Structures are given as structure tokens and as C-alpha cells.
């Protein structure tokens, strides 16, 4: 029995908005007619909402961004070390921090991080990551400190966001040295000449020790393969013993290669896919693009599953949650419903469903209202 779970945050719109689900493609419509529909509670604000997509209560699985990133990169620093997320960002002449320009050049980043390796000390080690997200390891460190998350630091004066507490002098010196070192780099001088922001500061935040999380394959009996573009989810998979597929081939910007995703989902007995792109589409009111996601999902994922269901039975869960689905604490899109929807289909035990899988039922008390992690968890254990 193949088990597939697909998570699409913010797919469900508020009733007053255009719906991408009201007129579903044929494959999705056939599945809805024979599925069980539930309503999903919103994900609460928490440190690691991604835990819900692995069937774990995110309120009981708080992992800091630093350890998650280092786990995703495949590093295993000493047990007593503190792990930081290290973001390459911009600081202007007035000392204001800003988000890196979207037109960042990966070659620029590579050269700057090679230069930044000179900032390493006996207790601080830099680990190169992806794009502007990297990591810093402090050996014999302490968590008795406060750092400002990068998402909160953007737009603020650097002097108002500096680390405070244990080892704050060491971290402040590191930040100051990174600005002095990178600002004069030829890469940043050229960027300024081209009208681009400099990438001239390294900002440590999201500190934590590597946690001891339960190895889920031992308790659930199977190893899941997870498909997403999320560093956070990748790191969490490493920590709990699940396999995360190559993120680089999953998506380019807001476009996911659905045919490739569909083929890979057909290769695994147990898999999860996080479709992250709808959040940005909903945020900008791009209903046509959301409809494109639904159509591609039906054509490249659902149709192949249905066409082989006689010889290859499957269980399918589709989750369209609301609430705080992003670790950075950003507000959900205004267009998105707080209450989400879930769909469960078993090709060997189809249900006789009378409810649509769209916004018309989000306030229908006849449908169960459950937490997303409780809805998806049986898909990992094979118990329904």
C-alpha cells in the first residue's frame, strides 16, 4: 500500500474570495467524491510548525532555527556547541539592516563566504550553507543570551539588535568584524557600482543545542521520504530519521516541477510533499496561479495514482492548513482561511462523500475539526 500525504498551506481562501477549489479538475473531483473530508484547526504560533507535517505536535517539538539548519547541511558539531543560523545581509551607512536584494548572485555569495572564513576563531566555526543562509558553531557556548531573529532585525538599526548576555562581546565583535571585512570586498564595491545592495554583514541568530528527538522510523515502522524546498523541514527530517529529497530539484521560485514530483511520489511507499508556493500566490491575490497549482497537482500526481490504483493501491491525504505555517512568524495571507481542510482517500475502501473539498464547508459543524498533525500522523504509521 502506497501512502502519500500532500500539504498545501493556505490553499483554502476566505469565502468572499475566488476559490481555486470550487471547480476541481477531474482527477481531484473523482477523489473528493470517494473521500472523507475534515476541517483542520489552524497551526498555532510556535517555533517549529513544520513538525506538524511529520505528524508531530509542533507545540511539543520546539527546535531552534540554528540546529535545524546545521542538521539540514549534514554537519555534526560537538555536543556542547551552540548552533546559530547565520544570515548574510545588508547594512547601510546609517547602520540599518536590510534584506538582501532578490537579485543576489550566487557567485557573489560564494566569494564573500570564502572571505568570511577568515572570521573563524578557536571557538567560532562558519559552515557554508545555501544562498544567504549559513551557520555558525560556538563551542562550549551557552544559551543564556538573546539574539534578534533576522526577520525582526530587517529595517532596524544594527545597534538596537545586537546580541546580549553570555558571549555577547564575542558575537558583537564577530558582527562588527564581518562588516569591516566584507564591506571593502571587491564583490561589494562592484555591487554598489551596479546599484545593488552590498552583502556586507553576517547576522547570528536562532541559537540552540542539537536536540535529541525520537527516531520516528523505530516507533512507526517505516521511513518516510519528504519532498520540500524548506531548510527547516529538511533539518527536522534529519533529526527524526526521515529521508528528505534533494531540495534543489524541487522548485524554482514559485514553480514546482510537478511531473518530476509525481514520478518521485510513485517511487516511494511512504512520502510527504510540502507545496510551499501557494502562500506567496495568496499573499498577492494571484488566483490564476493557485488554480494552476491545483491543475498541475491533479494532472501530474493524482491522475497517475488513480490510473494504477487497481494494481497499486494507495492512501492519499491532502492537507490545506491555515494559521502560522511558517517558522519566521510571518502573518498568514489575508486571503487565506484560518480554518483549513483535509481529505483522506483509500483506493481500497472508498467512502461515499456528500461534502465538497472547498470553502463552502469550512464552517460546517457536521465535519470533524481536528489538528493537522493528528490528521496526517496515521499516514506514517499505516493505521487508520
- The Cα angle at residue 174 between residues 157 and 121, in degrees rounded to 5: 170
Three-state secondary structure string covering 62-101: CCCHHHHHHHHCCCCCCCCCEEEEEEEEEECCCCEEECCC
- Whole-structure pTM value: 0.92
Residues 6+ apart with CB under 8 A from 21: 11, 12, 294, 356, 357, 358, 359
pLDDT of residue 384: 59
pLDDT of residue 28: 97
Per-residue pLDDT of the chain (384 residues; tens, 9 = 90+): 999 999 999 999 987 778 999 999 999 999 999 999 999 999 998 889 999 999 999 999 999 999 999 999 999 999 889 999 999 999 998 999 998 775 667 889 999 999 999 999 999 999 999 889 999 999 988 999 999 998 899 999 999 999 999 999 999 999 999 999 999 999 999 999 998 889 999 999 999 999 999 999 999 999 999 999 999 999 999 999 999 998 877 766 567 889 999 999 999 999 999 999 999 999 999 999 999 999 999 999 999 999 999 899 999 999 999 999 887 767 899 999 999 999 999 999 999 999 999 999 999 999 999 999 999 999 998 765
At what angle are helices 106-116 and 168-183 packed, to 10 degrees? Answer: 130
Would you give the DSSP letter of residue 9?
T
Cell numbers of 204, please? 547570528
pLDDT of residue 255: 77
* CA-derived radius of gyration, the chain: 22
pLDDT of residue 331: 85
Distance from C-alpha of 246 to C-alpha of 237, rounded to nearest angstrom: 12
pLDDT of residue 254: 61
**Which alpha helices (H) appear in the chain, and where do they start and end?**
26-33, 65-72, 106-116, 150-153, 168-183, 186-193, 216-220, 231-240, 258-265, 278-283, 287-297, 303-307, 372-376, 378-381
Q: For strand 124-130 and strand 314-320, is the pairing parallel, antiparallel, or unpaired?
A: unpaired
Contact 195, 139 (CB under 8 A): no
- The DSSP annotation for 17-43 comes to S--SSSS--HHHHHHHHTSEEEEEPPB
Contact 57, 111 (CB under 8 A): no
Straight-line distance from the first to the last Cα atom of the chain, in angstroms, rounded to the nearest whole number:
13
Distance from C-alpha of 283 to C-alpha of 280, rounded to nearest angstrom: 5
Distance from C-alpha of 331 to C-alpha of 348, rounded to nearest angstrom: 40
Cell numbers of 183, please? 564591506
Buried-state track 278-300, b at ≥16 Cβ within 10 A, e below 16 = bbebbbeebbebbbbbbbbbbbb
The helix (H) or strand (E) run that includes residue 277 is: none
Bridge partners (DSSP) of residue 274 are 7
Amino acid at each position: 500500500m502506497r501512502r502519500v500525504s500532500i500539504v498545501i498551506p493556505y490553499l483554502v481562501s476566505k469565502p468572499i474570495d475566488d476559490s481555486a477549489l470550487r471547480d476541481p479538475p477531474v482527477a481531484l473531483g473523482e477523489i473528493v467524491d470517494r473521500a472523507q473530508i475534515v476541517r483542520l484547526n489552524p497551526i498555532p504560533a510556535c517555533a517549529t510548525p513544520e513538525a506538524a507535517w511529520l505528524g508531530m505536535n509542533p507545540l511539543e517539538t520546539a527546535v531552534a532555527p540554528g540546529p535545524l539548519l546545521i542538521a539540514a547541511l549534514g554537519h555534526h558539531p560537538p555536543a556542547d556547541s551552540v548552533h546559530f543560523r547565520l544570515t548574510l545581509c545588508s547594512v547601510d551607512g546609517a547602520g540599518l539592516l536590510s534584506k538582501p536584494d532578490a537579485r543576489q548572485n550566487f557567485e557573489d555569495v560564494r566569494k564573500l563566504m570564502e572571505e568570511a572564513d577568515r572570521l573563524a576563531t578557536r571557538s567560532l566555526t562558519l559552515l557554508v550553507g545555501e544562498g544567504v543562509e549559513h551557520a555558525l558553531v560556538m563551542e562550549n557556548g551557552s544559551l543564556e543570551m538573546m539574539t534578534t531573529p533576522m526577520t525582526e532585525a530587517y529595517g532596524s538599526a544594527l545597534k538596537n539588535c545586537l546580541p546580549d548576555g553570555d558571549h555577547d562581546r564575542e558575537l558583537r565583535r564577530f558582527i562588527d568584524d564581518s562588516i569591516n571585512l566584507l564591506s571593502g570586498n571587491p564583490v561589494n564595491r562592484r555591487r554598489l557600482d551596479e546599484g545593488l545592495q552590498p552583502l556586507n554583514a553576517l547576522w547570528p541568530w536562532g541559537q540552540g543545542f542539537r536536540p535529541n528527538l525520537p527516531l520516528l522510523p523505530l516507533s512507526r515502522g517505516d521511513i518516510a521520504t519528504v519532498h520540500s524546498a524548506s531548510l527547516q523541514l529538511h533539518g527536522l527530517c534529519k533529526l527524526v530519521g526521515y529521508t528528505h529529497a534533494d531540495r534543489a530539484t524541487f522548485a524554482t521560485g514559485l514553480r514546482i516541477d510537478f511531473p518530476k514530483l509525481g514520478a518521485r511520489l510513485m517511487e516511494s511507499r511512504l512520502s510527504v510533499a510540502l507545496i510551499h508556493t501557494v502562500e506567496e500566490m495568496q499573499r498577492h491575490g494571484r488566483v490564476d496561479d493557485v488554480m494552476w497549482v491545483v491543475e498541475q497537482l491533479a494532472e501530474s500526481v493524482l491522475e497517475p495514482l488513480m490510473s494504477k490504483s487497481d494494481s497499486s493501491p494507495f492512501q492519499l491525504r491532502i492537507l490545506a492548513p491555515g494559521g502560522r505555517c511558517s517558522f519566521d512568524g510571518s502573518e498568514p495571507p489575508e486571503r487565506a482561511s484560518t480554518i483549513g481542510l483535509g481529505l483522506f482517500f483509500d483506493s481500497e475502501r472508498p467512502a461515499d462523500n456528500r461534502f465538497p473539498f472547498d470553502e463552502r464547508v469550512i464552517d460546517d459543524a457536521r465535519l470533524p475539526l481536528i489538528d493537522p498533525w493528528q490528521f496526517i500522523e496515521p499516514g506514517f504509521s499505516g493505521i487508520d
